[in-house]
Amino acid sequence: EVQMLESGGGLVQPGGSQRLSCTVSGFTFSSYTMSWVRQAPGKGLEWVSSISGSGGSTSYADSVKGRFTISRDNSKNTLYLQMNSLRAEDTAVYHCAKKSCNNCHGYFDSWGQGTLVTVSS
């Protein structure tokens, strides 16, 4: 059974930083592209970033490019999202999501429940 557990959310001031983690089990972590998808309170879903199975290829939404960095540690089955220069509009529940394949057009076949990041003074 695939399990995905996010952590690291909390209250952070505008301009601050936060690092999110997503620990997974139940599949061969290094064989799949992983992503972060966020959901602002009462809003829809927004893809944030993806990273290939090896970690060698990354992509970002324009809204976070240059501020967020996605990474992974395949030895620890853990995905990360380093968020810098946070803004109020980054307030959201951040979900990690497993893509159905690696380096391909794939849907998200497993999701974590998410961790809430609130950016406020």
Partner 1 sequence: EIVLTQSPGTLSLSPGERATLSCRASQSVSSSYLAWYQQKPGQALRLLIYGASSRATGIPDRFSGSGSGTDFTLTISRLEPEDFAVYYCQQYGSSPYTFGQGTKLEIK
Binding site for partner 1 (CB under 8 A): 4, 44-47, 59, 61-62, 95, 97, 100, 105-114
Tell me whether residue 37 or residue 117 sits nearer to partner 1 (CB atom): 37
H helices, E strands: number in the chain: 0, 11
Q: How far apart are CB 59 and partner 1 at their closest, in Å?
A: 7
Q: How far apart are CB 44 and partner 1 at their closest, in Å?
A: 5
| Residues contacting residue 34 through CB under 8 Å, at least 6 positions apart | 22, 24, 50, 51, 72, 79, 96, 97, 98, 99
Tell me whether residue 55 or residue 61 sits nearer to partner 1 (CB atom): 61
- Which residue type occupies 31? S
Tell me whether residue 73 or residue 109 sits nearer to partner 1 (CB atom): 109
Asked if 36 and 60 touch (Cβ cutoff 8 Å), the reply is no
Q: How far apart are CB 53 and partner 1 at their closest, in Å?
A: 17
